[in-house]
């Protein structure tokens, strides 16, 4: 294939955060998503394996870089600062180059819009960049070039890089989601028409946030699917997905003969029914020790008595008069208030984040109050915890909680593996959400209706159409980290050998997409293996990020 031929081809990527074939195939059969159905019939499609765990920070960075987290350094929405504090990540935390950097350096024009983590703060590219998820409201700079923000607003009116911060279990939220889906597409359409692009990437977070809070009304197999009022919620949610399908149709109409359109998601989705209180599990197995609360003990109160009283009040219906979200926020604040402090002098391990789905050991020399000696003791304690977690069972069904329990080096490799949790948990398709709360006396708790009842799953979606894409192909073994090298190959660039992904040649006609590689001299190391700098967010913005992640059900 000649260089001239490659220059004519464009690649267009529509990222639907959290999209899952479990819903999309059902809606396609109903006729709600005709353009996606056309792509599946006339192109290639199938599941796309996410990361472990399948959460957006790690997943989208893996998509962008084509390397595993041990090379790009992102394992969660947070990193541990030098003093042990939890600080939010941003684009400056990523330790490997994104594929659009390779494209920019090769002279290709790119538009990168809304890719979580990797676009805030925006960085220079050969083209434009607009930030997305976790961009603080009122951020002074959310585009590259900086002047682009004013240009967008002048062309289409209001624009928010992260418009879904105020998530509620309400029709009002869904109507807002419809509005912002339309408004953002007006801006994306403006950028699409602004110039000729070699690669155009736009990501929407609407599917993810909608499925977190409305999954029970969306999936036809769920008992609440026909609950009173469910149809009204479902119709509003479907309106968002229909609009996203319209966007597919618009992009198809503007494709050239050799252009390729890719639809993808960073992970899938499914039902969540119970919280698994990981720290409570560690307490009961003797790996984590709590101090009693002197203030509560002095007046004869315990966590169990306080929570028991609240449950009895719930039976009486006194708190039922409060709005659902108000009740949930009340419970979250109460949990933080009555949670007993950790006795670090006797604690071997702990869970620090819901979105890590992991356990950290309290290691001497690494953690501020570490007691586990590196080496033999570390391996002994870690294996004991792994065996305990493998034995965790749902008391109602007897099924294992985890599909697998991994040592970090079994999943990751690279210079930044030292940032990873020591033990990684694979929940699979089980309906459990990891919780880190210390206040609960129970390991298992049923998730209330007003909370997020949808959780991430390990397989998202991938569909490709146009140009060299084979027709009617069902994809079987594609991984999220395969997309970056595949996009580079589609645009005629060699793939850095440091990328862990492969070119998905089975998607394309034989010989139509080259798969050359080159060595860039090792993983790009932009910093030490443990974070030593403060977060790029201000103190006020850190508080906002915490609240934003709490609204998604990612924080206690």
Residues 6+ apart with CB under 8 A from 65: 71, 72, 94, 96, 97, 98, 99, 481, 484, 499
pLDDT at 122: 96
Give the lowest-confidence range in 21-35, 370-384, 542-556.
542-556
Sorted by sequence, the CB contacts under 8 Å of residue 156 that are 6+ apart come out as 183, 186, 187, 190
pLDDT (tens digit per residue) in 400-419 = 999 999 999 999 999 999 99
Sign of CA dihedral 502, 506, 507, 510: positive
Question: What is the pLDDT, as a whole number, of residue 305?
Answer: 53
Q: In the numeric block, which tokens belong to residue 4?
A: 């001239």
How far is the C-alpha of 431 from the C-alpha of 403, rounded, in Å?
A: 11
Task: Enumerate residues 6+ apart whose C-beta is below 8 A from 539.
Answer: none
User: What pLDDT was estimated at residue 165?
Assistant: 72
Backbone angles phi, psi at 298, to 5 degrees: -60, -30
Among 224, 263, 232, smallest CA distance to 19 is for 263
Determine contact, residues 374/363, Cβ cutoff 8 Å.
Answer: yes
Q: 156-180 b/e with 16+ CB inside 10 Å = b? A: beebebbbbbebebeeebbebbbeb
Is there a contact between 105 and 90 (Cβ–Cβ < 8 Å)? no
Rg of the chain on CA atoms, in Å? 24
pLDDT category at 82 given cuts 50, 70, 90 is low
Q: Are strands 110-113 and 127-130 parallel, antiparallel or unpaired?
A: parallel
Taking each helix axis from N to C terminus, what angle separates 21-30 and 34-42, rounded to the nearest 10 degrees? 100
Mean pLDDT across the chain: 87
pLDDT tops 80 at residue 310: no
Q: What secondary structure letter does DSSP report for 419? A: G
Which two three-digit tokens encode residue 77? Answer: 């929405």
Q: Which domains does the chain have, with CATH numbers?
A: 3-269+456-549 (3.40.720.10), 274-451 (no CATH)
Q: Which of 206-215, 380-389, 483-492 has the lowest mean pLDDT?
A: 206-215
5, pLDDT greater than 60: no
For residue 286, pLDDT beyond 90: yes
pLDDT for position 79: 83
CB atoms within 10 A of CB 146: 11
Pairing verdict, β 349-350 and 358-361: antiparallel
Cα distance between residue 326 and residue 335, in whole Å:
14
Token readout for 472 is: 């009617």
Range of weakest confidence among 27-36, 442-451, 490-499? 442-451
pLDDT digits (tens, 9 = 90+) for 408-462: 999 999 999 999 999 999 999 999 999 888 877 899 999 887 677 889 999 999 9
- The answer to whether the beta carbons of residues 14 and 252 sit under 8 Å apart is no
What is the CB neighbour count within 10 angstroms for residue 258? 16
| Pairwise CA distance, residues 20 & 149, whole Å | 32
User: What mean pLDDT is predicted for residues 166-184?
Assistant: 90
Close Cβ partners of 317 (under 8 Å, ≥ 6 residues apart): none
């Amino acid at each position: 294939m000649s260089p001239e031929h490659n220059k004519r081809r464009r690649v267009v990527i529509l990222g639907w955060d959290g999209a899952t074939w479990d819903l999309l195939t059902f809606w396609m059969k109903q006729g709600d998503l005709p353009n996606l159905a056309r792509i599946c019939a006339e192109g290639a499609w199938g599941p796309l394996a996410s990361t472990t765990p399948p959460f957006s920070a790690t997943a989208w960075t893996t998509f962008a870089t084509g390397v595993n987290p041990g090379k790009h350094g992102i394992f969660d929405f947070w990193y541990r600062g030098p003093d042990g504090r939890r600080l939010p990540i941003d684009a400056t935390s990523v330790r490997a180059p994104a594929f659009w950097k390779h494209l920019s350096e090769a002279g290709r024009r790119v538009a990168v819009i809304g890719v979580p983590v990797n676009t805030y703060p925006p960085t220079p590219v050969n083209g434009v960049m607009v930030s997305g998820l976790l961009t603080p409201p009122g951020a002074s700079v959310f585009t590259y070039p900086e002047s682009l923000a004013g240009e967008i607003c002048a062309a289409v009116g209001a624009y928010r890089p992260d418009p879904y911060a105020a998530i509620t279990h309400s029709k009002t939220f869904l109507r807002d989601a419809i509005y912002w889906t339309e408004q953002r597409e007006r801006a994306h359409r403006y950028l699409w028409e602004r110039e000729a692009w070699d690669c155009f990437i736009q990501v929407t977070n609407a599917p993810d946030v909608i499925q977190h809070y409305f999954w029970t009304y969306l999936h036809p197999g769920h008992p609440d699917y026909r609950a009173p009022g469910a149809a009204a919620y479902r119709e509003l949610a479907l309106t968002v997905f229909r609009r996203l399908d319209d966007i597919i149709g618009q992009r198809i109409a503007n494709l050239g003969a050799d252009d390729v359109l890719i639809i993808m998601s960073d992970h899938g989705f499914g039902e969540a029914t119970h919280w698994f209180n990981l720290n409570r599990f560690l307490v009961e197995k003797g790996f984590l020790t709590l101090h009693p609360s002197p203030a509560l003990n002095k007046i004869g109160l315990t966590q169990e008595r306080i929570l028991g009283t609240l449950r009895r009040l719930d039976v009486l219906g006194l708190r039922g008069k409060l709005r659902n979200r108000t009740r949930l926020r009340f419970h979250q604040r109460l949990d933080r208030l009555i949670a007993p402090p950790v006795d670090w002098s006797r604690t071997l391990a702990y869970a620090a984040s819901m979105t890590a789905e992991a356990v950290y050991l309290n290691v001497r020399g690494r953690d501020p109050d570490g007691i586990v000696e590196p080496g033999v003791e570390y391996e002994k304690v870690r294996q004991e915890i792994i065996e305990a977690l493998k034995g965790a069972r749902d008391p109602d069904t007897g099924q294992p909680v985890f599909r697998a329990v991994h040592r970090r080096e079994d999943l990751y490799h690279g210079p930044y593996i030292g940032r990873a949790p020591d033990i990684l948990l694979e929940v699979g398709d089980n309906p459990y959400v990891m919780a880190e709360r210390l206040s609960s006396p129970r390991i298992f708790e049923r998730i209330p209706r007003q909370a997020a009842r949808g959780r991430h799953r390990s397989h998202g979606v991938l569909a490709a159409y146009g140009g060299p894409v084979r027709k009617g192909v069902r994809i079987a073994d594609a991984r999220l980290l395969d997309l970056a090298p595949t996009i580079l190959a589609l645009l005629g660039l060699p793939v850095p050998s440091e990328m862990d992904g492969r070119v998905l040649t089975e998607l394309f006609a034989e010989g139509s997409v080259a798969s050359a590689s080159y060595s860039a001299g090792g993983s790009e190391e932009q910093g030490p293996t443990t974070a030593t700098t403060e977060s790029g967010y201000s103190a006020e913005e850190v508080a906002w990020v915490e609240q934003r992640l709490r609204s998604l059900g990612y924080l206690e």
